[in-house]
Structure 1
């Protein structure tokens, strides 16, 4: 499979199965889609008024050499691997601990319903969290590095338990040959020096939730009582976090909606305020919501990604660049084959744990009772759910099989697919369109930065 497109003045050709990227001139770009269906003589005839015979011949030979070198028109070698992949041992690598099903903001788009997750407000006890960490250690096989995200709601509303569980996790490391990488996801309302000091010591990553410009953030992320600006409360704190971590191992993480389709301004707002690790992602909401992304919004969104990617190139070359999460791809190494085929590993390698100890495939399934997989006392009891997620991959999804971005998004989000199509092996179509555009922009950035 070959995908070709033009972006920011570059003619780009992606050989999907090998991952090879080629930046080419106009004549090669014109010939590539015809190379496997027309003869050299037919190609010469087709382009005789546009290109010289000599140039056509040289371009044809260049394409031929790339094909023979296994860098163009390569065969898919991964589909043969899929049967053994599905039979791989189940190794749990990560947990999302719902430390608090409660929140001190009232974000309008929150899939967790202000932290309640379609249920009741609750805080996780140390005992429940302890059992979850024990489960992770005992089900992680020979894997050394384990991931634990303190999530909510707002986890700082249950801060003492966060500290206790972190300490307990550290106590398990030496005897079990494990290393915990803890992450804190916070809205920043309760963030203070004591929390920051602890987080900087123990948390491998901090995710800082803020949507962008003051008016955008405050419209969608109001305080619970409606008084005051959440932006004014958290922005100074988040700047302090970023600087205290030397601009690494954190993200400011925002959400754009139908209300701010000019979201590149929010990304650049963060960059202009000194943040170097930025993620602003599209809202996922049902179509009836006023803030939902609609199909008719896509052209504007694509234009925003184009503007943003060009600005990133400009700033990187000027020495004041920043990282935008959705444009960060590795064309040389990249994730392992299993990751490329199955993505985040939700439901088998990655699980969410509620405050009362139920296991779900991921945080976005929490509250959907049909996806309860077990609990911290009994372990995983619904092996059928686990096995369904384990077998989900880019070849179990018909839409992914023909998509050029499949090895970059690894099949997309199972929760989004289920919420929109009722099946984890389908796809959230609007999300796929945006993902394809982001991949194109990310590759263009690589091409532009390699130019000098």
Structure 2
């Protein structure tokens, strides 16, 4: 599984690096327990959103913020960890993580109302992705009985994505990528 787009923040001097903004973010994304897990794997910083299953690969300051919140550090220590992680504007790091929460990440429970769902969709539509994985084939040449997909009946469907759907998905990705100069598209399925 590939991580979702990298979280990056603006470097520079804090305009108002207050512990209040950290406390507000904590109240939102860690109300009673963390709703994500921040960890390092193979020299990469990864944040796993428990509800959506999304993997993020944040930069060092954003990772420091999320990791410190997950560990229950005091707000002042969170600010210090973000500052120690790199030349980042703490307020910008908090704002970026708040935008991720606005987009539907770091939620304790699924959104219940239609209005909340519409708000989540609208927030996601503001996102400019740089990676996409297309599952072009649901069958596998080996059909190993120990495969986790066998129990789901996934391999028995034998469906293929049409050429037209693939082209439409790629064009949609390019349109949604906004001003990004590079996008990554992985074609998956039918292995090996």
TM-score in terms of structure 2 length: 0.36
Q: Which has the larger radius of gyration?
A: 1
Structure whose residues are more often helix by fraction: 1
Identify which of structures 1 and 2 has the higher relative contact order when contacts are C-alpha pairs closer than 8 Å and 6+ apart: 2
